[in-house]
Amino acid sequence: MIDAHSHIWTRNVEQFPLANEKTVDDLDPPSFNYDELIALTQPLGVSKVVLIQHGPYHGVDNSYVLHATRRYPEVFRVVAGIDDRREGTGELMRKMLPQGVTGFRITPFFPARTNWLETPGMEEMWRVAADTGQAICCLINPDDLPAVSNMCERFPGTPVVIDHLSRIGADGTIRNEDVNELCKLAKQKQVSVKVSAFYGLGAKQAPYLDLAPLIKRVFEAYGPQRLMWASDCPYQLAPGHTYADSIALVRDHLDFLSPEDREWIFSKTAKRVYFF
| CATH of residue 169 | 3.20.20.140
The 10s digit of each residue's pLDDT in 11-51 is 999 999 999 999 999 999 999 999 999 999 999 999 999 99
Range of the domain at 233: 2-274
DSSP strands (E only) in 53-205: 76-80, 101-106, 135-138, 160-162, 191-196
Q: What is the mean pLDDT of residues 172-184?
A: 98
pLDDT band at 110 (very low <50, low <70, confident <90, very high): confident
Is a pLDDT exceeding 90 seen at residue 104? yes
139: nearest Cα among 41, 249, 56: 56
Specify the pLDDT at position 111. 76
210-244 pLDDT, tens digit per residue, is: 999 999 999 999 999 999 999 999 999 999 999 99
| H or E, element range at 49 | strand 48-52
Mean pLDDT score across all residues of the chain: 97
Quick one: pLDDT at residue 76?
98
How many domains are contained in the chain?
Answer: 1
Sheet holding 2-6, edge to edge: 2-6, 48-52, 76-80, 101-106, 135-138, 160-162, 191-196, 227-230
Q: What is the pLDDT of residue 168?
A: 98
